[in-house]
Structure formats: C-alpha cells, structure tokens
Structure 1
Amino acid sequence: MPYTLSNGSLEIIMKGGVYENPVIQVLGFLKLEEYSINEKYRLQISDGKYYHGYAILATQLNHKLYSGELSLFSVVQINKFETVVLHNNENDRKIIIILDINIIARGKEVGRKLGNPQLWIGASASAAPAQTPTLKASPASTSRTPTPLAGTSFNTSAIDSKFTIPIASLTPYKSKWCIKARVVKKDEVKTYGKLNNGKYFKLVLCDDGGEIAATAFNDDCDKFYSKIEVDRVYYISSCKIKLANKQFNKLNNDYELVFQTDTVIAECCDNVSTLPTVKYDFLSISDIANKSPDAIIDVIGVCKIASDLQERTTKSTGKILKKREMTLVDQSHSAITVQLWGNDAEKFVITTNTIIALKGALLIEFNGCKSLSCLSTTILQSNPDLPDAHRLRGWYDHGGASADLVNISTGGGGSAGGRTEWITLKEAQTRRTRCADKSEYYNLLGVIIYTLSDNVVYKACPQENCNKKLENIENGMFLCKKCGKEYPNFKYRLLLGGTISDPTGDHKITAFNEVAESLLGKSANEVSYLLQNDNEGYGRLFDEINFKTFLFNLRDNYDNQTRLQTVVMSAQPLNYKDANSRLIKSIRALSEIQV
C-alpha cells in the first residue's frame, strides 16, 4: 500500500511557517535519561524530503509507544504540535513538541523508510521569525485582549495571547512563557505549620496537550483564591516552575507551578468552543483489575451504589476526615469501589444511576481487593458530555442495570470469584472448602438479627500500621506485644460480632473497625464515649441496627483448618431498584414467564 508523506512540510515548520496536520514517518526514537519521573522520548521524523532529529513526544502519548502503535517506520498525522527554541552558548536549536497524533500505519505494516530524506540544515533558530516559540493562534485568540484579574498586577508584556505555549513544553529552563489553561479543580484553602499560621490552595490546570498542578501560598493565596474559578480559562505567566513532588502530585507532568509575587493571571475571553477541556484516557474496569497498585487511572462508569458521608479519625494526627464511597460499573460487566475524601466527599454530588468520570485516581490494593482513591489532583465530573458517557448510558438503560458483574473491589480467589451475584447462606455453605490458605468471597442479602454489645470497644496500639489490642500493665502504660513497646496512649477500635439471617438459615459474622463503624453509624471514639457515659444510649445503638437489611460482602476462611470465621468486608443498605431487577430476572429464569 502506498503512503503519502507531507513532502517539504518540515522545512515550512522549521522556518516558522504554518502547516496543518502534516503526515510524517518515524525513523527512530530515543528515551531521554534526564527525565526520571515521567519518561520522555525524542523522535527522528521525516516528511520524505527532510528529516529532523529533535521532535519531543508529549508524555500523554507515551502509551502509543508502549502499545506498539507508534514504532520504527510508523506513518502518522500530527494534529497538534508546538515549536520551541532552546538557547545555549553555541547556537540556538528549534525543537518540535508533538502534542496529538493519529496513527495512519504501524511500523510493521510499512516496513521501510519512505523516500530518501536529507537532514534539515537551516538558518539558526535565533534567525527564525520572532513567532517562536508559538502555536498557531485561533482567530478568536488574536482578536481579544486578556482581562486581568481584579486586584492583581498586570503587565501586558508578560501576557500575549498570540504567543502562548502548551503546558507540555513547560520546563524550569524557560524564562519567559505564557500558558492558556482551564482550571479543572480548585481545592479549599488549607493551613500548615505548628501554629497553623501558613495557608495555601492548589489548582489543577489543563490545556489540549497536558495538565499541571499549581499552588499559591500565604499572600498569594489571599490574592488569587477568590479571583480564580473552576471551569474558566486563564492566561498565566511568571510562576516558579519546579520538579513535581510525586508523593503528593500524581499528575502526568514532571513539573508543577508555584505562584509568586510577580505572577500574572488574566481571564481568557475567547469563544468557549476554542478553549481547552479535560482530556481523558479511560480504562475499562475489567482492565483496571490487571493494573499494578499505585497506578494512576482514568475511568468512567455508572454509579451503582453511593454511601452516606462518613467520618474517619486519622491515626497519626487525630484529625477527622470526611469520606464517601461509590461503586461504578461499566460495559465490561465489572464494578469497582471509589473512595472520595475531604472536600470531594462533602461537596461532589453523588446519586445512583449517574455517570461519573474520574481523571487521575490512585489504584490501591488491600487483601487482594482493588479500589480507587481520589487524590487532591483527581478530577471528577458528573454526567459529562462525552461519547463514552453516551455509549455507557445506552448500555446501562438497556440491560446493563440488571447484568451480573464482577466486582474487583470485593476480593478474589473464592468460588464466587468476587462476582456481584447474590447467593444464600445455604449456597455459601455448599461452596466452602476447608482450606486454610484460601478465602471464599461472596455477596449475600441478609438481615442482622443479633449483635453482641459486650467487648465491642478495645484499646489498640497507637502506631499507624498496628491495630493490636493493648495490655494494661497497671503503671499508666500499655504494652503492645506485637511491637514489643510500651505506650502511654492508645486508640479505640471496634470488633463487632453478630448473627445474620436469610430465608435459608442463620450465620455468625464478625465486622472489624471500619465496617463496624459503618454499621453502627458511629466512630470508635463515639462508641467508647457512650459506653463510658451513657449506658442507655450505648444499648440503643445496637438495638437500632437489629432487623435491618444489608447487602453484605463476606469472606469465609478457616482458622487452623477447623474453625470457620466469616468477616464482613462491606455492608451496603439495600438498593431496592437493583433488588427488584434481580428478582424479576430470577423469576424469568425459573418460570420462563415474562414479567
């Protein structure tokens, strides 16, 4: 098959001209070792007449290299790119930053170099037209002047809407730059320091080719916080560019911005259709199951279950955190639990049957169960206007709502395989195997008929990663036999025992701290307070959960191959719409009667 390259396009681009959507061939690529956080690659590209060895692939396109779509001899169309001049002592070098491409043909399909391209040797970059570094401006962006934020400094020489550069090309080596970015997330103001006398807030910014975090401290926090709004677009310049701290910043960027005294921000007044939006790289939930922990994930799904707002006390600082959970499902017939924290848990509206899109969630694993946790930089959208969302809605409304699903957040390895099918206690009994190294996971619709109120609260080791029960050694100190240390303090934890029932029988269960708090609707500290100060209120707490119906996710295992222990992994209030759909499906299957 013949492939036609955009002959001579590199010469036009390197001379500062405009060439829309050039078709080029990849003749080689090299990993840049100086970028250790997010890998970057330099490509050698050819238009059939000339080749150029300094084309940088934006990090959001790395997956095309990893998957093999982009390889030696691949023919691609460059949809978006930026030219940047790098200055050094000897001469200036112009590089091309590739922001978006379409693969026309994979390298193995082409199998050879096309044409006989020669190395492009032009005039030095410093002699090139003063348009570089530049990205071709849309008509709207050249016709309006940026509007400075009220109460902030504004230097028109610092911001020129015609000479913005993409976020992907920002480096600490650039002295003069301007980006045009949409604010996709804005955190609440937080404090720091022993006296909480410092304050800051964080933003997440994006354009068509990348994303970056920005932080404003103290005076800059006061100056900019009330002026910047989510989903608006701004020209931003004169920030400090520093290496991103990947312990806290999981965005796909090596760098982050810090606002300074001379930072300039002006609102963009262009037509909304020309402004950058969030770019997603969605994974199906079934594919997430194969990813390693700590991966950063974009996912879209229908909210099947949404929990109420809960409070958790941090073990290290004693601060109270707000938390919510939701279960997302998609066309891969899979489900996953997503945890929201702090401001997201309080203010992001979660309702069942809503389509939720997440960008930049952290994949975590515990006891073989995988779930997603929202970070400070995670972007959430409800019912986004995206093709993926429309396809998902069609699937869910036409059978997906009642489909059997594999829930990757409820464990694996058991005979139930983590499936969302509901079984009875009698069916669970027939599935059990007396194997000490194998756990059985299953879902069950049951009623709590009895809870033990004795010895529910215990004093546990104060260390963050240790929950061992402490022994009072009668000298004002408590001994942790696991850590081998004595402590003057402790933390309260819960261990709730009880019995659940369904139409086929009864069974004893155990719920550990987090699940017990969810069932009782109180934190361990609150339960301890009632125990010590309000016996009547303490007893009423257990009476109120008896004879309530929950959808339990349970884990069976045998202690020393003799004693069965059933642990509650989660307990969700019954979703009656889901339950009715399952009952109707069962009636159809058993009776062959359409209901």
Structure 2
Amino acid sequence: MPVNLTANAIAAISGGDVNSKPLVQVMDVKPTGSNQERYRLLLSDSTLTQHAMLATQLNDRVKSGSVRKGSVVQLIDYICSTVQNRKIIVVLNMETIIPYCDLIGNPRMYSDSDASAQKAMANINSGNVNRVSNNVSNGRPAVQNVQTYRPTAQAPHQTAPRVDQNVQNFRPVVQPPFQPPPNYRNHGTILKNEAPARIIPISALNPYQGRWAIKARVTAKGDLRRYNNARGDGKVFSFDLLDSDGGEIRVTCFNAVVDRFCDVIEVGKVYMISKGSLRPAQKNFNHLKNEWEIFLETTSSVDPCPEEDVSIPQQQFSFRPISEIENVENNSILDFIGMVVSVNPSVPILRKNGLETQRRILNMKDGSGRSIEVTLWGELCNRDGQKLQDLVDSGFFPVLAIKSGKVSDFSGKSIGTISSTQLFINPDIPEARSLRNWFDNGGKNAASISISKENMPAGSRNEMRKTVSQIKDEGLGRSDKPDWITIKATMTFVKSDNFCYTACPLTIGDRKCSKKVTRSGNNWWFCDRCNQEFEECDYRYLLQAQIQDHTGVTWVTAFQEAGEEILRIPAKELYEFKENDDDRFAVSISAGLFTKFLFRLKVKEETYGEEQRVKVTVVKAEKLEYSLESRIMLDLISKYAR
C-alpha cells in the first residue's frame, strides 16, 4: 500500500508551524555520542530532510525498535530551534504509524533557500501572479529554485501578462501559508520573539529549545548561601519544581537574580517560569532525577499562577523500605517513611566550619523488620524535631515521611537531613495510612534489627571490631590507605597542658579557616593563611589521651568534634576554666575518664622527622549503650555456638 507523507512538512516546520501534526519518515537514527543518552534523527517528507533531536522521554521508542530507519511517524508535539545557525526539530511526542517501509522519494537536505521557495509557491498558488511579475520586471531579485516568468510582446487587445509556460506547468502541492497558533491570534501586533512561549512538560526540556515555559509547583526551597572563590564573593539559592506530569527539575539563581526571586518563591505555590537557560545538573548537589538544571537570568520570568492547579500534586515521593537502605550506597539521596519510636533531646554541635548548630537523633522502624537512626540538623531540630518529641512523650508514635534524606554509612547505615530535606508528620497519603495500620495492629511490639550502629548484630559489613592489641599485632595503618576500626575501650588519661590550640575564626566560603594563629605585635591574633589580624580567636580541641581495653593501652588524638564528644564541653569554655578556675577545670577534664566508649578510629602510619609512626585518631566517640551491647554479645555467642 503506498504511503503518502505530508507534503512540504519539513519546510513548514522549519518555518515555524507547530500544529499540523504531519506524517514523516525516519531516514536515520543515531546516538548523539554525548554523556547523556540521546538520539538524533533525520526526518523526511519525501522531498526534503531535516535533522531532529528526540526528547529523552522517547528514548524507549528507539530501544524497543518502534522507531528506526524506515519508520513512518506522526509528529504530535514538536518545535524547531536554531542551534549554531542550523535548524533542528525537537520531537517531544510522536506516534509510530508504520514501523518500517522502504525509503520514500529521493529527498535532499533542507536549506534556507527552501523557505523562500515555499513562500513564492504560496504566492503563485494563491493567485498573486501579477505581484510576482511586477517584482521581476522592476529588477528585484528572483526567488531561488522557482522558475521566473517574463512578459512577452502581446497583441494590442491583450491586457494581462502571459505567464511563462514553465511557471504554468510548475504546480507542486504545497500547504497553505503558515498561520500562527490560535493563542497568538487577535492579540494585536507582536514583535519578533515576543509571542508567548509554549508551555511544555518539564520532562521535555532540553538545551535545543529556543523558547519555552513550564508551569510547576515549588516543592522545596534551599537556604540562601554565600560563597567566596577566585572571582570574588557571591550568593546563591535554589528551589525544586514538580509539574502535573510528575517531572521534577531544580532551579538555581546567582547574585543579582537572587535579589529578584528569593523572596518571591514560596513552597507549595504554582508558578509559570520562562526564559531561563538549561545546563547539565550537578549531581554532587542535585539529587533530582533530571539530567538538566534551570539557571534563571536577569531576563527570566517567574509569574505566580493566580488560581490553584489541582492537577499538580503537592509533593512526589519514591519511598524505600529500611531493609533496602541497608544496601544503598553512601551519600545517596532518597525518600523514606517510617514510625518514630524514640526521639532524643536536641544538643548543640560545633561543625567542621566552626559554626554551631543543633542535632537531634530519632529512631524509626517499618514493616521490613529493620529500624534506622535519623539525624535532624539545624532548624529541623527545633521546629519539627520538638513536635515529634512532644508526640512521643505523650504516648503517640507518629508517622514521619522524609523527602530527600541523605544516607550515611559512617556508623552503620543512617539517614541525615540536608538543606533540601523536608519532613512530613502524619501525612495524608496511602503509605502513611498503611504504616499506621501495621503499627497499631502489632507492629509496635514487633522485633526489629537496627542497621544504624557500628556494633550491628551478626557482623555488619560496615563494622570492623578490633581490640587495642590488634592494632600492633595485625600491623594496622601500615598500608597505603588508613584502616578504620571500632574499639570498645575506656578513656584512662587526658593530657591537660595542651588540650587545645588557638584557631583563626574567619570564614572562607562556607567554612571557617581554623588554621593555628599567633599573637602579633599589637597583641592581636594573626593568621598566615588569611593574612589578617583580629582581636578574638577560636579555641579548638587537640586532645592527647590514652584508651585501654582488656588487651592493652594506646595513645590516641582527638580533634574538635571528637574532643567535645569525650569531654562534653566546648574547648573555649574549658580554656577559660583553666585560666580562671582550677577546680572546675580539673572536674571538666576528668569528666570523660573511666567511661567506656565505642571509639571509631582512623589508624594511619605517618612520618615524624625520619621516623615512621602509627597515628591513631579518634573520629567519633559514643558512650557505650549496655543494653544494645548485650544483645550484640548474645548474637555473637549464638553465631559461634552453631
């Protein structure tokens, strides 16, 4: 059966037609060869061919073979963009009409002259012969690729020019002249490139589109951050969008653009966004399942939609059970839902950048037979964390859904919050109702195994329990990479003369310098790295201590965070006690002595002068939980008794 492709479809699309939904043939399919999986097509209307790019959501059509060389397809949704002075059709949606047939016609590649030819043909077919004739007779350039006609000598009674026979015989079938889409009509004169952009799904966004608009809901908004690099100081913030098709994408603003949009954006509101640029997503910071990220510019538009769009969900989750989190890679970002069974009080923590924040630890369980530790940081501790603690203290165990939690394997597997994390307490979603039903009907008392502690039962792959004597006996730390081990030991001695050092308090980017500083001539503090002086300095722990278990004693070094975990007091406060109150200093320095800890240690051989020594550094110190340790020992006994 003969196949009739849409005549002049390529020329019409290249001229701006986006509504005809033509039938075209796929002449070729090739991968682009870029890092992202994309496919390049060559489309034909039997007369002309044009390059096209397939949207990523249609990749499965190529993989399944429904779109291949020879396929006849109908273009449903498409645009034509100019990339490096070359027209490219971006196919957003299409249907396969015939999976394969022989190549139709002998088409050639579309060129700019074809656009002029199409316009001239439209004039001829619409009866504008006299106008074209006058243009030629007045010496204006003839349209390329169209046979011209010349007035010939005529009898006196003839009044109309005779059209050249070549022109009369050249009557190709052409489509009517391109008409603007309906929403452009009757709006008065529109300047070039000022027509409203077409709203497309987030999943269809790609860098080959010249103009676009998306309608989406803000599901998360990051904090405003300031930074410092070789180009100077700056500020940045970002927010996440979700549309009615389930597509998600991150939007980022820098510097002057931050001032325009930071206060405008509200979580939960729907916006129309256009005139941004697309760049590859930075997966180190962007966890959304989209290969692109929108960067807003000074010419970008962000307009709130006056009416609520119920077709766009408030939030989109992809929950993972705790039993799967146990095998998830470190630093993965995921969604998680569970029952909160315990909430610890919020405690102040000094971060590595020298800034103090709050930390609160929760324990959660689900129906997979596992439980997990969740760490809340910053404002989440005081706002949502306090609400969770009040509920648990009152005897009600809430359901907690976590959007974008970060997996850590530092101490078993746990989940921590990041700047884009959102907490939903008792959300009205099917997963929460199912979990509540399970918990109230026996799940509350069901046994579960924690995947979060280093001392996990049955020898977790994240744990390497050792004794003090094994550090020497097994030659730990003497390879190219450090050994990370856990030791159950007692703190027996802490050097009290040099327990801290004076540190630079200045912030570089989002982190404090923390380099050791010295007194300058005017009695201020001077930092060699920052080349600045300041009146006050910071104090950071550098503890030298001994730990002991039943096999021996070893020296360890504990820096800032580990020092605070051992002594439970900031280094600056302890320094002031040493200078002004000997009794309180003695009590504070001995607070951690003869207490059993689980020490997470880094063992690495280092060079001191010309001597090689094994240095043992305390990375984390946790007071021993005897009930949990007893269960672990019973599990080990059962294991070895088999």
TM-score between both structures, scaled by the size of structure 1: 0.58
AA at the equivalent of 1:203: F
SS state of the match for residue 445, structure 1?
Answer: strand
Alignment of 1:71-470 (within 5 A): 83-86=78-81, 94-97=89-92, 115-116=101-102, 127=178, 130=181, 164-170=199-205, 177-187=212-222, 202-207=238-243, 208-213=246-251, 225=263, 230=267, 232=268, 234-237=270-273, 241=277, 250=286, 252-257=291-296, 263-266=302-305, 269-271=308-310, 275=313, 277-278=315-316, 288=329, 297-299=332-334, 309-312=347-350, 320=356, 342-343=378-379, 347=383, 349=385, 359=404, 376=419, 378-380=420-422, 401=449, 419-428=462-471, 430-433=473-476, 435=478, 437=480, 439-460=482-503, 469-470=516-517
Structure whose alpha-carbon radius of gyration is higher:
2
Which residue of the partner structure matches residue 151 of structure 1?
Answer: none
AA at the equivalent of 2:32: L
Quote the Cα distance in structure 1 between the aligned partners of 2:250 and 2:299.
16
Judged with a 3 Å threshold, the aligned counterparts in structure 2 of structure 1 residues 486 and 271 are, in CA distance, closer, same or farther, namely: closer
Quote the Cα distance in structure 1 between the aligned partners of 2:598 and 2:67.
51
Shift of residue 502 of structure 1?
4.0
Shift of residue 263 of structure 1?
3.7
Judged with a 3 Å threshold, the aligned counterparts in structure 2 of structure 1 residues 521 and 422 are, in CA distance, closer, same or farther, namely: same
Quote the Cα distance in structure 2 between the aligned partners of 1:461 and 1:573.
31
Judged with a 3 Å threshold, the aligned counterparts in structure 2 of structure 1 residues 587 and 337 are, in CA distance, closer, same or farther, namely: closer
Quote the Cα distance in structure 1 between the aligned partners of 2:236 and 2:513.
32
Quote the Cα distance in structure 2 between the aligned partners of 1:26 and 1:345.
57
Quote the Cα distance in structure 1 between the aligned partners of 2:591 and 2:454.
32
AA at the equivalent of 1:516: G
1:585 aligns with 2:635: yes
Question: Contact 2:54–2:91 (CA<8 Å) still a contact in 1?
Answer: yes
CA RMSD of aligned residues (A): 6.7
Judged with a 3 Å threshold, the aligned counterparts in structure 2 of structure 1 residues 125 and 203 are, in CA distance, closer, same or farther, namely: farther
Shift of residue 422 of structure 1?
3.4
Aligned length: 498
AA at the equivalent of 1:27: V
Judged with a 3 Å threshold, the aligned counterparts in structure 2 of structure 1 residues 173 and 501 are, in CA distance, closer, same or farther, namely: same
1:41 aligns with 2:80: no
Quote the Cα distance in structure 1 between the aligned partners of 2:417 and 2:177.
45
Judged with a 3 Å threshold, the aligned counterparts in structure 2 of structure 1 residues 86 and 546 are, in CA distance, closer, same or farther, namely: same
Judged with a 3 Å threshold, the aligned counterparts in structure 2 of structure 1 residues 523 and 310 are, in CA distance, closer, same or farther, namely: same
Quote the Cα distance in structure 1 between the aligned partners of 2:482 and 2:632.
26
Quote the Cα distance in structure 2 between the aligned partners of 1:224 and 1:419.
41
Give the one of 570, 577, 589 matched to 1:542: 589
Question: Contact 1:436–1:559 (CA<8 Å) still a contact in 2?
Answer: no
Which residue of the partner structure matches residue 528 of structure 1?
Answer: 575
SS state of the match for residue 545, structure 1?
Answer: coil
Quote the Cα distance in structure 2 between the aligned partners of 1:45 and 1:551.
64
Gap regions ≥5 residues in structure 1: 1-6, 33-37, 102-112, 134-156, 290-295, 408-415
Give the one of 473, 496, 499 matched to 2:543: 496
Question: Contact 1:446–1:502 (CA<8 Å) still a contact in 2?
Answer: yes
AA at the equivalent of 2:561: E
SS state of the match for residue 635, structure 2?
Answer: helix
Quote the Cα distance in structure 2 between the aligned partners of 1:287 and 1:512.
30
Quote the Cα distance in structure 2 between the aligned partners of 1:173 and 1:406.
49
Judged with a 3 Å threshold, the aligned counterparts in structure 2 of structure 1 residues 118 and 494 are, in CA distance, closer, same or farther, namely: farther
**Residues 491-515 of structure 1, C-alpha deviations (whole Å, 9 max, x = no match):** 4321112233445554432211232
Judged with a 3 Å threshold, the aligned counterparts in structure 2 of structure 1 residues 566 and 261 are, in CA distance, closer, same or farther, namely: closer
Shift of residue 535 of structure 1?
4.1
Shift of residue 26 of structure 1?
8.7
Judged with a 3 Å threshold, the aligned counterparts in structure 2 of structure 1 residues 533 and 250 are, in CA distance, closer, same or farther, namely: farther
Quote the Cα distance in structure 2 between the aligned partners of 1:27 and 1:520.
66
Shift of residue 254 of structure 1?
3.9
Quote the Cα distance in structure 1 between the aligned partners of 2:483 and 2:226.
45
Gap regions ≥5 residues in structure 2: 111-172, 185-193, 229-233, 440-444
Alignment of 1:502-517 (within 5 A): 502-517=549-564
Judged with a 3 Å threshold, the aligned counterparts in structure 2 of structure 1 residues 547 and 94 are, in CA distance, closer, same or farther, namely: same
Shift of residue 265 of structure 1?
0.7
Question: Contact 1:314–1:321 (CA<8 Å) still a contact in 2?
Answer: no
Judged with a 3 Å threshold, the aligned counterparts in structure 2 of structure 1 residues 586 and 243 are, in CA distance, closer, same or farther, namely: closer
Which residue of the partner structure matches residue 120 of structure 2?
Answer: none
Quote the Cα distance in structure 1 between the aligned partners of 2:635 and 2:67.
49
**Residues 311-334 of structure 1, C-alpha deviations (whole Å, 9 max, x = no match):** 43776xx7655567899999xxx9
Shift of residue 95 of structure 1?
2.0
Quote the Cα distance in structure 2 between the aligned partners of 1:306 and 1:71.
53
Which residue of the partner structure matches residue 622 of structure 2?
Answer: 572
Percent identity, aligned pairs only, is 19
Which residue of the partner structure matches residue 52 of structure 2?
Answer: 54
Shift of residue 184 of structure 1?
2.0
Judged with a 3 Å threshold, the aligned counterparts in structure 2 of structure 1 residues 502 and 88 are, in CA distance, closer, same or farther, namely: closer
Which residue of the partner structure matches residue 148 of structure 1?
Answer: none
SS state of the match for residue 516, structure 1?
Answer: helix
AA at the equivalent of 2:242: C
TM-score between both structures, scaled by the size of structure 2: 0.54
SS state of the match for residue 544, structure 1?
Answer: coil
Which residue of the partner structure matches residue 601 of structure 2?
Answer: 554
Give the one of 28, 31, 35 matched to 1:29: 31
AA at the equivalent of 1:583: M
Quote the Cα distance in structure 2 between the aligned partners of 1:126 and 1:297.
53
Which residue of the partner structure matches residue 107 of structure 1?
Answer: none
Question: Contact 1:94–1:125 (CA<8 Å) still a contact in 2?
Answer: no
AA at the equivalent of 1:54: A
**Residues 99-146 of structure 1, C-alpha deviations (whole Å, 9 max, x = no match):** 9x9xxxxxxxxxxx954465999988994883799xxxxxxxxxxxxx
Shift of residue 431 of structure 1?
3.1
Question: Contact 1:362–1:375 (CA<8 Å) still a contact in 2?
Answer: no
Quote the Cα distance in structure 1 between the aligned partners of 2:570 and 2:222.
26
Question: Contact 1:515–1:569 (CA<8 Å) still a contact in 2?
Answer: yes
AA at the equivalent of 2:500: V
Shift of residue 406 of structure 1?
8.8
**Residues 531-551 of structure 1, C-alpha deviations (whole Å, 9 max, x = no match):** 444444433333333344432
Quote the Cα distance in structure 1 between the aligned partners of 2:380 and 2:548.
36
Shift of residue 446 of structure 1?
3.2
Which residue of the partner structure matches residue 141 of structure 1?
Answer: none
Which residue of the partner structure matches residue 151 of structure 2?
Answer: none
SS state of the match for residue 247, structure 2?
Answer: coil
Judged with a 3 Å threshold, the aligned counterparts in structure 2 of structure 1 residues 314 and 423 are, in CA distance, closer, same or farther, namely: closer
**Residues 372-395 of structure 1, C-alpha deviations (whole Å, 9 max, x = no match):** 99764x4456799799xx99x99x
SS state of the match for residue 518, structure 1?
Answer: helix
AA at the equivalent of 1:550: F
| Mean CA deviation greater in 124-133 or 236-245 | 124-133
Shift of residue 204 of structure 1?
1.8
Question: Contact 1:42–1:55 (CA<8 Å) still a contact in 2?
Answer: yes
SS state of the match for residue 86, structure 1?
Answer: strand
Shift of residue 183 of structure 1?
2.0
SS state of the match for residue 544, structure 2?
Answer: strand
**Residues 171-227 of structure 1, C-alpha deviations (whole Å, 9 max, x = no match):** 79978754232322124567999xxxx9996422133233022559999979985x8
Quote the Cα distance in structure 1 between the aligned partners of 2:477 and 2:257.
64
Question: Contact 1:185–1:205 (CA<8 Å) still a contact in 2?
Answer: yes
**Residues 77-103 of structure 1, C-alpha deviations (whole Å, 9 max, x = no match):** 99xx9533437999986522379x9xx
Question: Contact 1:328–1:338 (CA<8 Å) still a contact in 2?
Answer: yes
